[in-house]
Structure 1
Amino acid sequence: MPNIKNSVKDASYSVDIGEMRIKYKDKSDTFTEDHLESKQPFGQFKAWFEIACNTPGILEPNAMFLATATKSGIPSVRPVLLKGYGSEGFKFYTNYDSRKAGELDENPNAALTFYWEALKRTVRIEGTAERTSSTDSDCYFNSRPYPSQIGSMASKQSSVIAGRETLMVKEKELLEQFPEGSVKRPPNWGGYIVIPKSVEFWQGQSDRLHDRIRFRRRKPGEKPDNILVHEGDDGWVYERLSP
């Protein structure tokens, strides 16, 4: 009888999932330049985001992946929640002692990605991040539920701890020390805003000829030909990318 334990241990874990695929959109539902709701990325994002907010099955339309890198270029990525957006950029909040914050402080280049599977749509944002003001951070922190405020104080984000019990003990101490309504924003907690240089809107097609329209800041002296590079609004141009 073969030694199953050893066989499993020695088995290859190279698994072929090349046939795993789902149907995206078809040629009757493409995303072309005449479908743009705005000639600048913030208006177009607003249009797509509002659709995502009203689409059943998308429970957190504001969930996005934040990519950062060290000053030597080692990348990391994690999900965070969008908490505000507009012509100034895209905003989120975190612990300033976390890995993401440390990387942003030494290398402000950042990227954000939204993926709304039910819509077969993605938005990719590339730009630079900077901290928001203390006033902005205070305003958002004060709007958070009490348990979330306590959680922000209890966690030394990204640090190594012995176990979950460590957090529970700290949380209990803070709940006793700070009753509801008395919690102030910790100085090591606050917001970042990602100021975009480019924003790409992607819509998946089943034939893999995906639709990709990218907005980017106009280069100095650049004159759009409205064939490959199209004139946008507020200093933006847009162009179609090959899939």
Structure 2
Amino acid sequence: MSPTRPATSLNATELAALRKSYERAELSEDASQADPLRQFALWLNEAVQAQLPEPNAMTLATVGSDLRPSSRVVLIKGYDERGIVWYSNYDSRKGRELAGNPYAALQFHWVELERVVRIEGRVEQVSAEESDTYFHSRPLDSRIGAWASPQSQVISGRGVLVTNAARYGAQYLLNPPRPPHWGGFRLVPDRWEFWQGRPSRLHDRLRYRLERGATGTTWVRERLAP
């Protein structure tokens, strides 16, 4: 007897037939910024103004000592000429992988705007002062959660988290300090790519790569084939 396919599932033909025509905008060399950080700020602001769901969400990809890549979604918490900042548990899988291999990639996907931004570079920890400032700006339950969750470790059940949260909540009351294993990361970009969907799959892709010379560094902007 052949297995019954769930009524809501797609077969291979139906899945392959899913497609979309991208026609919202274009990305030209003349209209884009010479500095990738300014181009990013422009697109991020447009994503926020469009009230997209979680425009600050980005995929972070790292590589472990076993050369296996892994990815997860984190939230951007700041950016400037130094790089892109997010916060996490230093003992998590991503934290351990970044300690062993400090290179990573970020990706923003703003589906409704038919845009993708990819960023690559070296990752460093932000200063303790920066981590303290952000940590104490978080809601109380999030600060307790940073103590309660042994991120990426195997636990016996959700009860472990609930018990830990109650214990640390009773211990620290309204003023939990920043855990020593929790803080910020900063990716220092050496490559950016801006992708704008276009009709007929002839998408616009502009890459910026950092070129170091005798007189300093400059961003070289190049168009890539889609």
1:189-211, Cα deviation, whole Å (9 max, x unpaired): 00000001100000011310000
Matched, 1:184 2:177: yes
Cα RMSD over matched residues? 2.0
Name the CA distance, whole Å, in 2 between partners of 1:188 and 1:166: 19
How many residue pairs get aligned? The number is: 221
Matched, 1:197 2:190: yes
1:35 alignment counterpart: 31
The Cα of 1:220 is off from its aligned counterpart by 3.8
Name the CA distance, whole Å, in 1 between partners of 2:114 and 2:84: 22
Which ranges of structure 1 fall in alignment gaps of 5 or more residues?
Answer: 222-232
Equivalent position SS for 2:120: strand
1:204-241, Cα deviation, whole Å (9 max, x unpaired): 113100000011111547xxxxxxxxxxx961110100
The Cα of 1:50 is off from its aligned counterpart by 0.3
2:39 alignment counterpart: 44
Name the CA distance, whole Å, in 2 between partners of 1:88 and 1:172: 38
Bigger Rg, which one: 1
Task: Tell whether the 8 Å contact from 1:40 to 1:234 is kept in structure 2 after alignment.
Answer: no
Name the CA distance, whole Å, in 1 between partners of 2:135 and 2:18: 42
Task: Tell whether the 8 Å contact from 1:70 to 1:106 is kept in structure 2 after alignment.
Answer: yes
Name the CA distance, whole Å, in 2 between partners of 1:63 and 1:139: 21
Task: Tell whether the 8 Å contact from 2:212 to 2:218 is kept in structure 1 after alignment.
Answer: no
**Which residues of 2 match residues 1-243 of structure 1 at below 5 A?**
2=1, 7-8=3-4, 15-16=12-13, 17-25=15-23, 29-36=25-32, 38-56=33-51, 58-180=52-174, 182-220=175-213, 235-243=218-226
Equivalent position SS for 2:131: helix
So what's the TM-score if we normalise by structure 2?
A: 0.92
1:21-58, Cα deviation, whole Å (9 max, x unpaired): 123116xx32111111x2111111000000000113x1
The Cα of 1:172 is off from its aligned counterpart by 1.2
1:226 alignment counterpart: none
The Cα of 1:72 is off from its aligned counterpart by 4.0
Equivalent position SS for 1:35: coil
Q: Name the aligned partner's letter for residue 217 of structure 1.
A: L
Name the CA distance, whole Å, in 2 between partners of 1:8 and 1:166: 39
Equivalent position SS for 1:238: strand
Name the CA distance, whole Å, in 1 between partners of 2:55 and 2:79: 13
Q: Name the aligned partner's letter for residue 12 of structure 2.
A: V
Q: Name the aligned partner's letter for residue 184 of structure 2.
A: G
